[in-house]
Structure 1
Amino acid sequence: MTRIEEAIKQSKFQDVYQKALVNLIYTANCLRDEQVRILKPFDLLPQHFNVMRILRGRHPKPVCPGEIKEVMLDKANDLTRLLDKLERKGLIQRNLCPTNRRKMDITLTQAGIELLEKMNHMMEQTHETLKGRLSEREAASLSHLLDKLRG
């Protein structure tokens, strides 16, 4: 286990709250970097993976962009560009909503479902690593503390 002080070569923090915040950001970035590494062979980013998982959760029902944006883990991204790339790769399909022509319906294609299954399997390795480092009780406690931190 590498302590945050060693990881960023900083021995002093303003207080324990600053240390916790720095540790949280550093750890989140480490986890994101691991996702990027896993998804790189597929030429996709974690945000693409997140969109595909959202669509899979609603499959076979279509989802509109607003609904996707609402539940994305990283809301700062340009959803249109993410969807454009997924569509170019044949992983999603966009159609006009039959009941509201101003609304776009988005669904996963069969190729998207199959690729998502493959990526989910690879992401399982990260999940297993977490299980090896934290007990169920520690993971539940961490989740509770993160919920509390967000208010």
Structure 2
Amino acid sequence: MSLEQDIKQEKFQNEYEKMVVNILYTSSWLYNINSSRFKQHGITPEQYNVLRILRGSNPKPMMLADITCRMIDKNSNATRLVEKLRQKGLLRREICENNRRQVDISITEKGMEVLKKIDRETETWLEPFKVLTKPEAQELNRMLDRLRE
């Protein structure tokens, strides 16, 4: 379905305005799909992002500032996300022995298991996006990277 049909707007000031609205609308659409994907695992997309970041540094723990700078959504409250994940037993927070002001954050085995379950579902989840060919996906990635330069 076209953007015009989805948001019931026939005219835009120009193609650039339409492009921006299309990116924002598509971002929201993807976010909602992702949310329902993670809901069955009891986490949000932002919590998933934190777990993936921690898995990438595993077994080395990370500080909160390092997690924050790697997050997709820079406006997320990383402190709150980390605390929610700690309460669920998916990560641990420990005061560094060498520097009492530093808190080391690492993923737990339970957190790794949640990610493994999600990983097993990922190929099926990605299937609808394969309406684009691999070269089209590469071109879209290139164009989106260029927009952020």
In 1, Cα distance between equivalents of 2:125 and 2:132: 12
Q: Which runs of 5+ in 2 are unaligned?
A: none
Q: Is the 8 A contact 1:38 1:123 kept in 2?
A: no
Which amino acid in structure 2 is aligned with residue 113 of structure 1?
M
Which amino acid in structure 2 is aligned with residue 40 of structure 1?
K
Which amino acid in structure 2 is aligned with residue 109 of structure 1?
T
Q: CA deviation at 1:65?
A: 0.5
Aligned residue in 2 for 1:35:
34
Q: Is the 8 A contact 1:92 1:109 kept in 2?
A: yes
Provide the secondary structure at the position in 2 that maps to 1:62. Answer: coil
Q: CA deviation at 1:119?
A: 1.8
Aligned residue in 1 for 2:138:
140
Aligned residue in 1 for 2:76:
77
Q: Is the 8 A contact 1:38 1:122 kept in 2?
A: no
2:109 corresponds to 1:110: yes
Deviations, residues 77-108 of structure 1 (Å, cap 9, x unaligned): 11111011100000001101222211111111
Q: Is the 8 A contact 1:35 1:123 kept in 2?
A: no
Q: CA deviation at 1:40?
A: 1.2
Provide the secondary structure at the position in 1 that maps to 2:75. Answer: coil
Q: Which runs of 5+ in 1 are unaligned?
A: none
Show the 5 A alignment for 1:112-131: 112-130=111-129
RMSD: 1.1
Which amino acid in structure 2 is aligned with residue 62 of structure 1?
P
Deviations, residues 84-139 of structure 1 (Å, cap 9, x unaligned): 11000000011012222111111111111001111222333332222x21111111
Question: Given the two structures, how large is their TM-score scaled by the length of structure 1?
Answer: 0.94
Provide the secondary structure at the position in 2 that maps to 1:75. Answer: coil
Question: Given the two structures, how large is their TM-score scaled by the length of structure 2?
Answer: 0.95
Which amino acid in structure 1 is aligned with residue 83 of structure 2?
D
